[in-house]
Chain A
Amino acid sequence: VNIIQSTKSLHEIIFLFLEVGLILGSLGVVIMTNIVYSTFFLMLVFVCISFMYLLLNVDFVVTAQIFIYVGAINILIVFVIMLINKPPSFNFFPSWTMGDGITCATCIGLFFLLIITISNTSWSKIYLVTQSNNIVEQDLGRNIQCIGYLLLTKYFLPFELLFIILLVALIGAITIAHQEKILEMRVKIQALQAKEDFPTS
């Protein structure tokens, strides 16, 4: 019994640390005026969320989170920031407009509504699980094999739709990049023509 209690308390301590890291990281993402620092706080948030998945015992989502969010999306954002090269603004208290006030009030209201709802719901009395034991639950167990099996049988149609969305995104990205190149070429050609029309003596 002692061991169980100690592991439970350890679980709670780790969870508390992750929560604090998440909240501070999210605040840093929003508040930081330098966009590079904001990106690194975003990385902290993603790593904290992946550890939270580890506590929830879902292996595959942990790997996907670390590989895709930390490895791909964050690096992409860093690259884009380096390409944009916008000078950092040191205006800590920007002027509030009407829309900012409305958004702030809505967010605070939503926050308190959620807090009230969560504290009023009796979580231990919820039984959404209908006791149907004839689920696709062979000897595969709860692991990556089972996820792959379900993706290719029960959730095959959304999986295929995902392929189509990826293809559309690929074509869209190529089109946007290509259009910028064409515009650059047109500007250059116009400049050359202007030079030919009015040659500097």
Chain B
Amino acid sequence: MCLEPFFNVVNINLVTFSNYFNIEQLKGEIFSIFVITITAIETVIGLD
């Protein structure tokens, strides 16, 4: 349960810096979507 905040921190960093440096490219948002998917997989496998 303490692993999800780590992934959230990574997401916040990605989105914030993609907003800060280059607002048109949306790279950070796309990578944050990938990270969210990985987190969901981790939860499903880790809680089994």
Contacts and interface: CB of A to CB of B under 8 A. Distances in A.
Nearest to A128: B21
A132 B12 CA distance: 26
A61 B24 contact: no
B5 A172 contact: no
Contacts of B48: 173, 176-177
A146 B26 contact: yes
Chain A interface helix/strand/loop/mixed: helix
B5 A45 contact: yes
Nearest to A45: B5
Contact of B2 (A29, A68, A169): A29
B5 A169 contact: no
Interface residues of B, number: 32
B26 to A, nearest CB: 6
A200 B40 CA distance: 51
Interface size grouping (class) on chain A: 35 or more
A52 B13 CA distance: 12
B43 A26 contact: no
Interface in A48-101: 49, 52-53, 56-58, 60-61, 64-65, 68-69, 72-73, 76-77, 80
Interface of A: 26, 29-30, 35, 38-39, 42, 45-46, 49, 52-53, 56-58, 60-61, 64-65, 68-69, 72-73, 76-77, 80, 126, 128-129, 135, 137, 142, 146-147, 150-151, 155, 158, 162, 165-166, 169, 172-173, 176-177
Given A69-B39, A128-B21, 10 more contacts: A30-B2, A60-B29, A72-B40, A73-B4, A76-B43, A77-B1, A135-B25, A150-B30, A151-B30, A173-B44
